[in-house]
Structure 1
Amino acid sequence: MKARYVRISTANQNHERQLINNHPNEKLYIDVCSGSIPFSKREQGKELFYSVALGEINYISVHAVDRLGRNLLDILTTLQILDKAGVTVKIDSLGLESRIGDKSNPAFKLITTVMGQIGEMERETMLERQREGIAIAKAKGTYKGRVRGSTQTKKEFLSQYTNVIKELNAGMSLRKTAKLCDVSLGTVQKVKKLI
């Protein structure tokens, strides 16, 4: 069976561009998390590995290398695990597949290593700019930041997803609710757990 892995950093980001090449026969795995979180520790990443271990998934599509992670070692580890399981990984933005027939594709490994390194550098650059911006805002006295220890209440969280609650109460599946409401599967799962 084929699968598509999608990752967005925050729930308010749109993941539609990662679904442009989506096919109806692909099983979707959508994570809402930072690219710095190791693939094997992500909710849907774990589920995908489990499906691979059961032999249910033999082909995975992903929009770009940085969707797998922003840490080169983690990306290479993930790809190695999938390759050892005989799973073909396709990076849509590169038009490359990790396997040719039943052999590993050396060109894929070279290019994904370079692209993974670029993704890691982009994250480091973004964090550096963020730190610089915070330092400037603090110097001007305009930096507020999140109040330490503050959290959203259950009621506040659920009030943001009334459409998700409506679909779930109508008996809609988790994946269809996520698509209809344009939120991540993880968000739908969290809403279901809280209602």
Structure 2
Amino acid sequence: MKVRYIRVSTLTQNIERQLAKEYKDEILYIDKISGAVPFLFRPEGKKLFSEIPGKKINYLSISSIDRLGRNTLDILETIKKLHSLNVCLKVDNLGLESLMNGKENPTFKLIVSVLANVSEMERDTMLERQKEGIALAKAKGVYKGREKNTVESAEQFLAKYSTVIKHLKKDSPIPLADIAKLAECSKNTVIKVKKKLEEIEKIEASSSS
């Protein structure tokens, strides 16, 4: 079975650009969430992986590699997990498939690794410009920030700390204090991110049992 994964960052963004002409033969999974949120923490991303065995999904299409995310490690881990389930990934704008005759396509692996890094750099640049804009707005006295009495969702919180998540998810994670330095945040923030990730993992484990 063939499926298509679509992601836009906000509720108001249009998904038409990500629909290929042949999409009518595909089941659609559509997330409206930041690319900084790990793939398996997204509602439709999680649903997609849970349905791969039952629906015998073996082919997943995306319009471009940044639809999987804006974090190099998470993108590569997502592809690795797809391959472990014998799912071939097709990236439309590259015209490449991740598997050839059931084996990993080396050309795809090389190009995607480069593009994943570019995608992460683009997000880092965007965040840096956002910080500069906030600093300028504060200096002018026009920055209001998040409205009082509003609650930030776990996804919104985690979306702000992709660098922290990247280091926490490594096979051999470094000390929390070092992660804080690399991510330019406090150690308490790293601890909070770690707890949020653990809470989500517990919820996922209990729901699947």
Equivalence map 1:46-61=2 (5 Å): 46-54=46-54, 56-61=56-61
Higher relative contact order (CA 8 A, sep 6+): 1
Offset, 1:55: 5.2
**Superposition TM-score, scaled by structure 1 size:** 0.74
The answer as to whether partners of 1:35 and 1:66 remain within 8 angstroms in 2 is: yes
Distance in 1 between residues matched to 2:59 and 2:137, nearest whole Å = 47
Structure 1 stretches lacking a partner, 5+ long: 152-195
Report what 1:79 is aligned to. Answer: 79
How many residue pairs get matched?
151
The match for 1:38 is 38
Kindly state the Cα deviation for residue 50 of structure 1 after the two structures are TM-superposed.
1.1
Q: Tell me the TM-score normalised to structure 2 length.
A: 0.70
CA deviation vs aligned residue, 1:38-66 (integer Å, no higher than 9, x gap): 10111110111012233521000000100
The aligned residue for residue 150 of structure 1 is 150
The secondary structure found in structure 2 opposite 1:146 is: coil
- Separation in structure 2 between the aligned mates of residue 108 and residue 42 of structure 1, nearest angstrom: 25
Provide the rounded CA distance (Å) in 2 between the counterparts of 1:65 and 1:21: 18
How far 1:102 sits from its partner (Å)? Answer: 1.3
Taking structure 1 as reference, are residues 22 and 150 closer, same or farther at Cα in structure 2, changes over 3 Å only?
A: farther
**Could you say what the CA RMSD is over the residues aligned between the two structures, in angstroms?**
1.2
Residue 132 in structure 1 maps to residue 132 in structure 2: yes
SS at match of 2:6: strand
| Per-residue CA distance 1:52-93 (angstroms, 9 max, x = gap) | 233521000000100001100000000001112111100001
Q: After TM superposition, what 4+ stretches of structure 1 lie above 4 angstroms from structure 2?
A: none
Q: Determine if the alignment matches structure 1 residue 99 to structure 2 residue 107.
A: no
2-structure distance, mates of 1:22, 1:122: 30
Distance 1:130 1:46, change over 3 A: same
Deviations 1:15-46 (A, max 9, x none): 11001344211000000110011101111101
Distance 1:42 1:22 in 2: 25
Identity of aligned residues (%): 54
